[in-house]
Structure 1
Amino acid sequence: MFIEEAAGQMTSIVLDPAESGRKNGLRDGYAEGYLRGRASYIVSQPRPAFPVRKVKVLYVSSGKGFPYSPLDEAVSSTLRTLTTELIAAVPGDPISDLAAQHKPDLLLALDGLELPVEQLNAVRAMGIPTAVWFTDDPYYTDLTIPLSAHYDYVFTLERNCVEPYRAAGCSQVHYLPFAAFPEHYRPTLIPSPHRRNLSFIGSAYWNRVIYLQPVLPALMEQGLLINGIWWDRLPEFPAYADRIELGKWMGPVETSEVYSGSKIVLNLHRSPSEEYVNNNKAGIPAASPNPRTFEISACATLQLVDARDDLTSFYRPGVEIETFSSPEELVDKVRYYLTHEEERREIALRALDRTLRDHTYANRLDQLMSVIFG
């Protein structure tokens, strides 16, 4: 309501709380509707079609269950659209018998740690090319480097692992990061059931705890909510227990809804040098973005990520993604983008468009098969 003071004096305006709430609601509703509408338009746009190759692929999944099973689904589902025939198997199956029966043009293993080397060698003895796509480089290279020489082709999601695999005896080693699977990770085209200012989904590796601890109160003031395991190791956990959902592995659909319903999603990479959780005695550093980088971007939300060296090969910082290099910069950018709706929205939408154009599993598997089949 308006209050006019005596003539000749300043006029002050006091906004009724109900009116203020209505205006804020209209503003927020418009912004949300505009974002969803633009995202829907981007999702609906035709994308380049990839060739269907006249090849038969024997695909051996990781065999590890969740959280690897969504990766297996992404790879196998996409391969079915790019090949004339896919034979799906798990590491415990009689792989060499399946190869002898179906005579595939390629055996492709995801992760490969559960696939017996004897079975793999028997397939190679039949003259069938073999390939592996390692899922966790460089964190378990003590295990994967000895395996790499048993494959004709090695694909790694870490740029810094290419040379170590070549040195181990595999001549065909290629850098191939993971991607987004749009069947799992996509923007909700109606308001998400999860509405948040700021989200982080992931395990409390010690490097994350140490990095976030000094600025955790400031992030909590901005509405941070965390989902993941081990966060009770955080000394301040009791004070923030209502803001941290502890011990829950979120499936891809629920994760996607949280990403899509968050104004900002944090992405802080794990460290390649935490000895008690890694098998990386060679100390191979990590330069490449994690799979979460592409999955968050596919949900039309602003991603704040600690900058890895090779990130700019995939997204333009400040245009399609936003980075930070210190805890203080992280807090500053959270505060900035929570008060600059239009800039935040445009970066998120450009990230969605770039991801659907360049960073899906169809892109990656077409590249893989181009290497092998030409």
Structure 2
Amino acid sequence: MKVLFSSNINPHFKTFSDYIKKAFKETGCNTCFFENRAFFLPGRIRDRLDLLQNWDLKRLNRKLLEKAEEFKPQIYVESGGWNILPDTIEKLKSMGIKTALWTVDPPHTFKQITEAAPRYDFVFCQGTEAVEILKEYDVQNLHWLPFACDPDFHKPVELTISEQNKYATQICCVGSWTSDYEKRQAALECLTDYNLGIWGPGWNNLPVGSNLNKFVRNYHTKPEEWIKIYSATRIAVIVHYQDMKGHVPCYQASPKVFETLACETLLVVDDQKDVLSLFESGRHLVVYHNHKELKELIHHYLEHPDEARKIAQQGRRNVLENHTFKHRVDEMLGIIKKG
């Protein structure tokens, strides 16, 4: 089967696009990749004038149609959906190509997607909140298809002595910070009595008086470093993004949920709806509901490493058996073939 996969690849930073592209090949698909952010003009120039933005966007869409005419795929899969115009989807369908959209981000970025999604033959969503929202726009063939892990990459790694010294913590958090991440900041501020390590962009912008500043290890880390951080810690903590104003729901399980579990690290995570649908608290990971419970759970599992190790092992086993990107691609292709 020939699949034209459209997404964005960062040459300096491994992302889920790399894992999905690899998974299509692992299923035996003849896969052609299209870079859906290959604009001619830099964003800082396009943003100044709508005329330039529209010209470059149409140019990008023409390039996609040219690629489709050349490659002649049976299936077109668009990851993200922001830059592919509704008319382009209709033209791909007129060529006899089945079209599928796989949404990625929480729905606060959904304006363009709500306009284009109804044109696709199939729409897959990383979070169930996206399914709920797109139903309101009369989108058909909606399916929940969460993030996943790549077991060839996301796995426990042996660390050198210098790496152990660099990354060792009782508790780690890998994730970004902006003023929108009040929930994440507040949770971590409860854990400053421990050997806490924080990695990720934006933490250098914390208020000067924040007691988290001294726990920030690095602002710029790559996935190759994340797996070392997870392998060196006792417990990983994930606090999901939420719209603090409550305007836009976010239920999806962060990609780091799957990546952390695949590294056989005990994961303590907030009570995110999709996480609770995919995993069992106390068996695959541990869910907390408030700051008091978070502190109690951290204390308990640091004092009971055998329990922590058992849950971490069961979590890794679960993601390898059910939640790899190959599982996701197999499920997607099965739905498209039936459709």
Same topology, TM > 0.5: yes
SS of the residue corresponding to residue 87 of structure 1 reads strand
Distance in 2 (CA, whole Å) between partners of 1:225 and 1:127 is 52
CA contact (8 A) 1:209 1:234 kept: no
The alpha-carbon deviation at position 137 of structure 1 amounts to 2.8
Q: Deviations over 1:10-55 (max 9, x none)?
A: xxxxxxxxxxxxxxxxxxxxxxxxxxxxxxxxxxxxxxxxxxxxx1
SS of the residue corresponding to residue 67 of structure 2 reads helix
CA contact (8 A) 2:74 2:96 kept: no
Residue of structure 2 equivalent to 1:168: 137
* Code of the aligned partner of 1:199: C
Distance in 2 (CA, whole Å) between partners of 1:292 and 1:197 is 18
Distance in 2 (CA, whole Å) between partners of 1:65 and 1:120 is 27
Q: Deviations over 1:84-105 (max 9, x none)?
A: 3111111246111121122111
CA contact (8 A) 2:106 2:252 kept: no
* Code of the aligned partner of 1:81: E
Range 188-197 or range 90-99, more displaced = 188-197
CA contact (8 A) 2:231 2:265 kept: yes
The alpha-carbon deviation at position 79 of structure 1 amounts to 0.4
Residue of structure 1 equivalent to 2:52: none
Distance in 1 (CA, whole Å) between partners of 2:3 and 2:175 is 33
Q: Deviations over 1:245-299 (max 9, x none)?
A: 3532x22111111112111000000113469xxxxxxx34222322111111111
Residue of structure 2 equivalent to 1:89: 34
Correspondence for 2:327 among 363, 367, 371: 363
Residue of structure 2 equivalent to 1:186: 155
Distance in 1 (CA, whole Å) between partners of 2:129 and 2:212 is 37
Distance in 2 (CA, whole Å) between partners of 1:215 and 1:272 is 18
TM-score (norm 2): 0.84
The 1:205–1:66 alpha-carbon spacing in structure 2 relative to 1, beyond 3 Å, is farther
Distance in 1 (CA, whole Å) between partners of 2:87 and 2:177 is 37
* Code of the aligned partner of 1:260: S
Q: Where does 1:62-77 land on structure 2 (aligned, <5 Å)?
A: 62=8, 69-77=14-22
Range 203-212 or range 220-229, more displaced = 203-212
* Code of the aligned partner of 2:306: E
SS of the residue corresponding to residue 107 of structure 2 reads coil
Distance in 2 (CA, whole Å) between partners of 1:228 and 1:274 is 24
Correspondence for 1:266 among 205, 215, 237: 237
The count of corresponding residues between Structure 1 and Structure 2 is 310
The alpha-carbon deviation at position 146 of structure 1 amounts to 1.5
* Code of the aligned partner of 1:325: H
The 1:316–1:231 alpha-carbon spacing in structure 2 relative to 1, beyond 3 Å, is same
CA contact (8 A) 2:122 2:142 kept: yes
**Residue 126 of structure 2 corresponds to residue 157 of structure 1:** yes
* Code of the aligned partner of 1:89: F
Residue of structure 2 equivalent to 1:28: none
Distance in 2 (CA, whole Å) between partners of 1:215 and 1:140 is 26
Q: Deviations over 1:190-228 (max 9, x none)?
A: 566422211011112445435544762x51221111112
The 1:237–1:179 alpha-carbon spacing in structure 2 relative to 1, beyond 3 Å, is farther
* Code of the aligned partner of 2:145: L
Residue of structure 2 equivalent to 1:134: 103
SS of the residue corresponding to residue 104 of structure 1 reads coil
Q: Where does 1:277-296 land on structure 2 (aligned, <5 Å)?
A: 283-296=247-260
Residue of structure 2 equivalent to 1:199: 172
SS of the residue corresponding to residue 101 of structure 2 reads strand
What's the Cα RMSD here?
2.4
Q: Where does 1:327-346 land on structure 2 (aligned, <5 Å)?
A: 327-346=291-310
Q: Deviations over 1:47-71 (max 9, x none)?
A: xxxxxxxx1101111367776x511
Distance in 2 (CA, whole Å) between partners of 1:66 and 1:165 is 33
Residue of structure 2 equivalent to 1:98: 67
Residue of structure 2 equivalent to 1:61: 7
Distance in 1 (CA, whole Å) between partners of 2:20 and 2:126 is 14
Unaligned residue ranges in structure 2 (runs of 5+): 39-59
SS of the residue corresponding to residue 188 of structure 1 reads coil
